[in-house]
Structure 1
Amino acid sequence: MSDSDTNQPDVLVLRKGTHGMPVEQYADALRGRLPDRTVELARTPTAERDRIRDARFVTGMTLEDELLEAAENLEVFACAYAGTGHLPLEELEARGVAVTNASGVHGPNIGEHVLGAILRFTRRFHVGARQQRRQKWRHYQAEELQGSTVTIVGLGAIGESVADRLEPFGVETIGVRYTPEKGGPTDEVVGFEGEGFEDALARTDYLVLACPLTETTRGLIDREAFVTMDPGAVLVNVARGPVVDADALVEALRSSWIRGASLDVTDPEPLPEDHPLWTFENVQITPHNAGHTPEYYERLADIVAGNVRRFADDPDAALENQVRP
């Protein structure tokens, strides 16, 4: 499809950015990879409504119902987030619009975030920081990561990235996925249900949640899970807040059923100022920040630009990271 034929761009970029980075950077990254294509940024609400009417390939963080109604010729929506639960997926599917996501973009940065959280608790840096604030030179006991068991719930791009970064540390890894028969990069792979998952929880020193929020994973880590875990275990959640029963987590921390938690996501989110999770010294809270990386738009543009070319060559071709239909 040529811009000269229809006065429509090959790619329309919607105006919402992410992580505080100007969306212009995303449009520029696409232009650099598609020098022979037209990439247009709709920078205002009016421009979005006007330009999406005839656009076939659109990319952005969100797609509101009003905007979708105006998209009369939409064939591909390239979501700029890894998660697509916020999109009107049923309507998009009913209209035959192919939807792709940004899976893989977050692998390195979230993998590093998880590793940092694990090492923080292993070497108890939070204790050292607290004593530094109080100007107290007092030795404290620490742990070793080597020989620990790390369970990674979710073996997508993020889970695999975590497993790769743990490889040099001499740990045993257990992966949890819907189809354990597929295997994975971990030493063991189990499913979400049954004795295998319960046994994994009982053996876990560090429980990393890197799974999507689904009917299966909502409330997965509940009171029973915390009671099953060893008192020395640490929870690291970079998935979604509702994967963990928040009330059960507070009870587990108050009752010393686990050693601590690193939470990049919470339920609710943002976490209210009066929420008890703010008060625990053995809880690390970051504001859904693990996904931030200065390379976000560059990695995303690699995926989307490739799909622009595939779509131009064959509108019916399967696209990278296609999730619907």
Structure 2
Amino acid sequence: MAMKRVAAFSAIRAFTSPSSSSVSSPNLTRHLHASPGSKKIVGVFYKANEYAALNPNFVGCVEGALGIRDWLESQGHQYIVTDDKEGLDSELEKHIPDLHVLISTPFHPAYVTAERIKKAKNLQLLLTAGIGSDHIDLNAAAAAGLTVAEITGSNVVSVAEDELMRILILVRNFLPGHHQVINGEWNVAGIAYRAYDLEGKTVGTIGAGRIGRLLLQRLKPFNCNLLYHDRLKMDPELENQIGAKFEEDLDTMLPKCDIIVVNTPLTDKTRGFFDKNRIAKCKKGVLIVNNARGALMDTQAVADACSSGQIGGYSGDVWYPQPAPKDHPWRYMPNQAMTPHISGTTIDGQLRYAAGVKDMLDRYFKGEDFPPQNYIVKEGKLASQYK
């Protein structure tokens, strides 16, 4: 119950607290809800190709189209789905001038720049199928009077479980052992010299929102020392339940941690905040998990620290840019356990965010408000976590 109260309070506070940093326009020209008539809706997702037919619930891809094509077209709306999103000759760019709704995902982000917003004269709604709308220029969207919303909570379980897995992979030095099996080798010493138990280690999360809280709850049975840094302190009942200690100052928390998990949103203030200086404050050999956003980290500083041993292991599924280029330094740094951006797009997660998108579109067509926690930009104001 305490967790529900905190989430509800945060959602309401996000759009009721006055702030001088909120962005608004005195002459908003867009409407929060659909005007009458047929709408042009464009979805940008990754292609599944031969994998599309292997699971009927694989809806988060181009071929699956979130499972809403028949529903939209039966109501007279036009629904276009593509993975082609970059450049002036892309399929997305062709539809920018007359689309009404753009649906995108963090896993194959359609970067919605101020220039694209300016071209999109009919655009009313930007929907993120998932969590994290930093691929959108939120200040430009707010100034244009657009609504930006996401399916809050849809993949928090998926991401928290993935983070726990990555912690264990790094702590137990799992990947070298797996590679030995593939390569026909057998060298226990090559794994054991840097494999540890998770019990008794100090784990700190930077950000203790929905995902961070779930991770802390899942870590409790491992008998870790749990720390968290966030702009908001947890409800005391929940904090006591989880057994996590609040750290008001991030730089004070970092040297205490054996393992650091990054769970903070990407904003103008947090972009690149984990740089060479922050890494130097950490314990030598610290393990870092980042499923939040790649651009939170100084890319080269992370690669250099992995090479020097200051970072003992780095794992995550977020990069900048995405998809990551072949020469991205994180692909080749030692002691990494990186993957493409997959943590939030499990089949279960896809079904949740697909259902959420359908619900939000239905509300949009009917002129109804969205759940308050789903708004990222509403009536020219940014949610507090993005300020």
Aligned residue for 1:295?
348
Tell me the TM-score normalized by structure 1: 0.77
CA displacement, residues 271-300 of structure 1 (integer Å, 9 cap, x when unaligned): 554555444441222123333322344211
CA displacement at 1:229 relative to structure 2: 1.8
Question: Partner amino acid for 2:206?
Answer: V
In 2 relative to 1, CA 323–30 (structure 1 residues): closer, same or farther, beyond 3 Å? Answer: farther
Find the counterpart in structure 2 of residue 190 from structure 1.
247
Amino acid at match of 1:177: D
- CA distance in 2 between partners of 1:223 and 1:197 (Å): 15
Higher relative contact order (CA 8 A, sep 6+): 2
Corresponding residue for residue 60 of structure 1: 103
Q: Residues 120 and 82 (structure 1 numbering): CA distance in 2 closer, same or farther, change over 3 Å?
A: same
Distance 1:28 1:202, change over 3 A: same
Q: Is the 8 A contact 1:31 1:38 kept in 2?
A: no
CA contact (8 A) 2:43 2:65 kept: no
Within a 5 Å distance, the mapping from 1:8-87 to structure 2 comes to 8=38, 13-18=41-46, 20=48, 21-23=60-62, 25-29=64-68, 40-43=78-81, 48=95, 52=99, 55=100, 58-61=101-104, 62=110, 69=119, 71-72=121-122, 74-87=123-136
Distance in 2, matches of 1:246 and 1:39, equals 42
Matched, 1:215 2:268: yes
What is the one-letter code of the residue matched to 2:163?
V
User: Unmatched 5+ residue regions in structure 1?
Assistant: none
Deviations 1:166-218 (A, max 9, x none): 23222222222223366766512234xxxx32232111111111222223322
What is the number of residues matched between the two proteins?
309
CA distance in 1 between partners of 2:214 and 2:173 (Å): 24
TM-score normalized by the length of structure 2: 0.66
Question: 3-state SS of the aligned residue for 1:14?
Answer: strand
**1:262 pairs with 2:301:** no
Q: Distance in 1 between matches of 2:325 and 2:354?
A: 35
Q: Write the distance in 2 (CA, Å) between the matches of 1:149 and 1:162.
A: 14
Residues 32-181 of structure 1: matches in 2 within 5 Å? 40-43=78-81, 48=95, 52=99, 55=100, 58-61=101-104, 62=110, 69=119, 71-72=121-122, 74-132=123-181, 133-139=183-189, 140-141=192-193, 142-180=195-233
Q: Deviations over 1:3-47 (max 9, x none)?
A: xx95525xx541422364434534525867x99966652358699
Mind listing any 5+ residue stretches in structure 2 that lack a counterpart?
1-34, 49-59, 83-90, 105-109, 379-387
Cα distance change, pair 254–190 in 1 and its aligned pair in 2 (3 A)? same
**Which amino acid in 1 is paired with 2:310?**
W
Task: Determine if contact 1:81/1:102 at 8 Å carries over to the other structure.
Answer: yes
Over aligned residue pairs, what C-alpha RMSD do you find?
Answer: 3.6
Alpha-carbon contact 1:234-1:258 (below 8 Å) kept: yes
**Equivalent position SS for 1:119:** helix
Structure 1 segment 281-292 matched on structure 2, within 5 A: 281-292=334-345
- For the residues of structure 1 that align with 2:302 and 2:116, how far apart are their CA atoms? 39
Partner of 1:200: 253
How far apart in 2 are the matches of 1:153 and 1:161? Answer: 13
Cα displacement string for residues 106-144 of structure 1 (whole angstroms, at most 9, x for unaligned residues): 312222221121111222212322433252243424311
> Is the Cα–Cα contact under 8 Å of residues 241 and 265 in structure 1 kept in the other structure?
yes
Letter in 1 for 2:176: V
In the alignment, the residues of structure 1 paired with residue 324 and residue 63 of structure 2 have an alpha-carbon distance, to the nearest angstrom, of 30
User: Which string of whole-angstrom CA distances, capped at 9 and with x for unpartnered residues, describes residues 71-108 of structure 1?
Assistant: 53x54332324222332434433443322013322312
Question: For the residues of structure 1 that align with 2:43 and 2:224, how far apart are their CA atoms?
Answer: 44
Tell me if structure 1 keeps the 8 A contact 2:117–2:141: no
Q: 1:99, 1:324 within 8 Å by CA — same for their partners in 2? A: yes
